[in-house]
A and B are shown apart, each in its own frame.
Chain A
């Protein structure tokens, strides 16, 4: 209750602090929503009234966030109605038998309903900044006169002429096609940097690696560090951090291995930059921080949350992502979308594997499949990110200087 009250007070005190930046305001709004959500989760099963009251607020906010989804579902009726209208009009106006009373009226009523719905969504819902919006407006202005013309034909002749049927099909067909295209178009707006060089790339990649094995870090981190150093050399550290971030969490319980790893990492720039932490990662906070960063620094974004790991952790992350999506939607930041991609090919985690033996020495080999083991291979282009830039042929390097504990579980999860 205190948390909710505090959150409410924070919201109310917004006016009393007019010098707050937009970033602070958005941050505060999101934190408040999160606080309410946490309290509701904590109190479920406890104070029912308080939960009910808070849940009501949450449901109200969630309904607001999901309203657009209901709108899309309703919008699917428009193309169906349009196709039905065209089919009925062609059928009833070309059939040889006389039409029953009321059929023409029903057709015209349905036509007007369809056109009205189209006009409403075209003017009030769809993006008006596109060229097609002008055509929509023009069509909406024309159709009342067209309806009057077709109704006159019905009254005079009983049916439409072939040219009128074609015109009717053209107008309603356009509306149907437009409604269909707007219904099925992706709701996510990708924002991509199209550079003058024609290369499109992510604006920023954040790589998070959590592992329980210090020896894995010892083996792979030098490669990551080498790639990072190449990027820093070309872009500078500040710019490199703006476009690429790395966080590595080591949760190895073997103190000796961790100690030796720390000693090994002393020469790596990533370690000095604070990218390596010897603690458990809080994935919820990582996802939340990413969204917060997007909301406060960008107008729109389309992020991918790519995960590779155990199915259990994938499920947890998915849940965290959904929670985060809800908060983002509730706070009105619908222009910041996130998609979740998970790879869990390893199956479920089983018992600890015994007897896994690490090979201490590491050999990096490059098999030149063309057989031209020339000097040119050793001078990679700027895009060549192979950490083993030196080899073709066989080279060996000792990346690991410590002996792992034989009982150390090399296959354990990071979590």
Chain B
């Protein structure tokens, strides 16, 4: 096993880290990882997965999820095999994650170009779920009216 870069599919505020990883041949890193987790998880019903030592470095790379200054976002994901880089750097161990009450999801599927967009999508919906839809549009219209008033002035 060695370090491997993956995109983080969960939003920045999520309580867990989610990865979409495409599993290739058995000899591939992802194949070995798959078999290890399947073996450990299968034998113990999932409880022994907690014994697996997983270290996460990063996140690194551009954060397209930093959307606070924007009013709208058009997120386009295309192409397979793109990664948010996780180069050598500060190591955040699983214990560190535990200290921050984070859960680590290892979601063995495919790594695709949609992942950063999906992260953005999850973050956006997460924020929307905390809002009251009834008030949201009223506030929005009120703010628009304020902008119009300022412009007229």
User: In the complex the two chains form, what is the Cα distance from A295 to B11 in whole Å?
Assistant: 29
Chain B 8-21 per-residue mask, 1 if CB under 8 angstroms from chain A, else 0: 00110111101010
Say yes or no: A197 contacts B131, CB within 8 Å.
yes
Chain B 34-56 per-residue mask, 1 if CB under 8 angstroms from chain A, else 0: 10011001100111011010100
Interface residue? B105 (CB, 8 A): yes
Q: Which residues of A contact B129 (CB under 8 A)?
A: 230-231, 234, 382-383, 385
State the Cβ distance, B18 to closest chain A Cβ, in Å. Answer: 7
Number of interface residues of B (CB under 8 A): 94
Say yes or no: A308 contacts B115, CB within 8 Å.
yes
Say yes or no: A385 contacts B76, CB within 8 Å.
no
User: In the complex the two chains form, what is the Cα distance from A385 to B143 in whole Å?
Assistant: 28
Q: Which residues of B contact A294 (CB under 8 A)?
A: 72
User: In the complex the two chains form, what is the Cα distance from A129 to B148 in whole Å?
Assistant: 12
Number of interface residues of A (CB under 8 A): 102
Of residues 138 to 153 in B, which have CB atoms within 8 Å of A's CB atoms? Answer: 139-140, 143-144, 147-148, 150-151, 153
User: In the complex the two chains form, what is the Cα distance from A203 to B143 in whole Å?
Assistant: 12
Say yes or no: B62 contacts A299, CB within 8 Å.
no
User: In the complex the two chains form, what is the Cα distance from A201 to B132 in whole Å?
Assistant: 13
Q: Which residues of A contact B34 (CB under 8 A)?
A: 359
Say yes or no: B130 contacts A193, CB within 8 Å.
no
Interface residue? A32 (CB, 8 A): no
Which of B25, B47, B79 gathers the greatest number of chain A CB atoms within 10 Å? B79
User: Known contacts being A363-B108, A384-B15, is A306 close to B46, with CB within 8 Å?
Assistant: no
Report which of A236, A345, A385 forms a contact with B11, defined as CB distance below 8 A: A385
- B40's nearest neighbour on chain A, judged by CB, is A394
State the Cβ distance, B88 to closest chain A Cβ, in Å. Answer: 15
Q: Which residues of B contact A239 (CB under 8 A)?
A: 133, 136-137
What does DSSP make chain B's interface, helix, strand, loop or mixed? mixed
Report which of A213, A219, A230, A392 forms a contact with B125, defined as CB distance below 8 A: A230
Say yes or no: A211 contacts B143, CB within 8 Å.
no
User: In the complex the two chains form, what is the Cα distance from A413 to B76 in whole Å?
Assistant: 13
Report which of B11, B38, B79, B122 forms a contact with A415, defined as CB distance below 8 A: B79
Say yes or no: B97 contacts A363, CB within 8 Å.
no
Of residues 81 to 102 in B, which have CB atoms within 8 Å of A's CB atoms? Answer: 81-85, 94-95, 97-98, 101-102
Interface residue? A332 (CB, 8 A): no
Chain A 359-378 per-residue mask, 1 if CB under 8 angstroms from chain B, else 0: 10011111111110100010
Q: Which residues of B contact A413 (CB under 8 A)?
A: 78-80
Say yes or no: B144 contacts A343, CB within 8 Å.
no
State the Cβ distance, A384 to closest chain B Cβ, in Å. Answer: 7
Interface residue? A89 (CB, 8 A): no
Q: Which residues of B contact A195 (CB under 8 A)?
A: 131, 135-136, 139
State the Cβ distance, B106 to closest chain A Cβ, in Å. Answer: 5
Interface residue? B107 (CB, 8 A): yes
Interface residue? A106 (CB, 8 A): no
Interface residue? A287 (CB, 8 A): yes
User: In the complex the two chains form, what is the Cα distance from A191 to B104 in whole Å?
Assistant: 35
Report which of A191, A213, A367, A377 forms a contact with B49, defined as CB distance below 8 A: A367
Say yes or no: A207 contacts B37, CB within 8 Å.
no
Interface residue? A411 (CB, 8 A): yes
Report which of B47, B76, B95, B105 forms a contact with A317, defined as CB distance below 8 A: B76
Say yes or no: A211 contacts B72, CB within 8 Å.
no
Q: Which residues of B contact A22 (CB under 8 A)?
A: none
User: Known contacts being A235-B128, A244-B128, A363-B41, is A219 close to B110, with CB within 8 Å?
Assistant: yes
Interface residue? A110 (CB, 8 A): no
User: Known contacts being A303-B73, A365-B37, A365-B46, is A207 close to B118, with CB within 8 Å?
Assistant: yes
Q: Which residues of A contact B104 (CB under 8 A)?
A: 366-367, 369
Q: Which residues of B contact A99 (CB under 8 A)?
A: none
Q: Which residues of B contact A48 (CB under 8 A)?
A: none
Please provide the 5 A-B residue pairs with the shortest distance between their CB atoms, ordered closest to farther: A394-B46, A393-B46, A309-B79, A346-B82, A201-B127
Q: Please give the residue numbers on chain B whose beta carbons come within 8 Å of chain A beta carbons, in ascending order.
A: 5, 7, 10-11, 13-16, 18, 20, 22-25, 34, 37-38, 41-42, 45-47, 49-50, 52, 54, 61-62, 64, 67-85, 94-95, 97-98, 101-110, 112-118, 120-122, 124-133, 135-137, 139-140, 143-144, 147-148, 150-151, 153
9 residue pairs A–B, Cβ–Cβ below 8 Å: A205-B121, A207-B117, A210-B78, A216-B80, A219-B109, A299-B151, A308-B115, A363-B38, A365-B107
Q: Other than the known A191-B143, A195-B136, A365-B37, what 10 A-B pairs have Cβ atoms closer than 8 Å?
A: A210-B78, A231-B125, A300-B147, A303-B73, A304-B73, A346-B80, A346-B83, A377-B103, A394-B45, A414-B113
